[in-house]
Amino acid sequence: MGAVYVIVATDMNRKIYSGEVPIIPEDQRLEVIKSIKNVKEARLGRSDNDTLKTVEEINPDIILLGPDQKYNLETLKRELGKKGLSKIIVKRLDTYYEKYALHSSSLIKKKIIEQHKN
């Protein structure tokens, strides 16, 4: 595995794209990601939401999008090409990490709601 860079969504973007304010604040999510052994660098998304500027700064070989990220792959590839970054491979992960039952914030929230109903 090469160097792994992670861009953590800002609270603002999380609300814009999912309609919900995240339970875990961006600074805490960032700190968790930074502590992962194979992550060379983690940073918050840009306040101006210029994702391609971040890609230019990092200049990765591969961009992996999560299964629920709203970014259109073809649009991303086209925009990378316009910036001379067409060599970057763009893929979407097909599955979640499902080793544990509570593997997403949505499932955690659902579990909390269920427990407090009873």
pLDDT band at 98; cut points 50, 70, 90: confident
Rounded to whole angstroms, how far apart are CA atoms 104 and 46? 23
Q: What is the CATH number of the domain that holds 97?
A: 3.40.50.620
Q: At 107, is the pLDDT very low, low, confident or very high (cuts 50, 70, 90)?
A: confident
- The pTM for the full model equals 0.77
Q: Which of 43, 90, 34 is nearest to 64 (CA)?
A: 90
Q: What is the mean pLDDT of residues 41-51?
A: 89
CA-closest candidate to residue 96, choices 65, 61, 52 = 65
For the chain, the domain total comes to 1
Cβ atoms of residues 41 and 35 within 8 Å: no
Coil, strand or helix at 39: strand
Q: Inform me whether the pLDDT recorded for 96 exceeds 80.
A: no
* Residue range of the domain that includes 98: 4-117
Per-residue model confidence (pLDDT) at position 1: 62
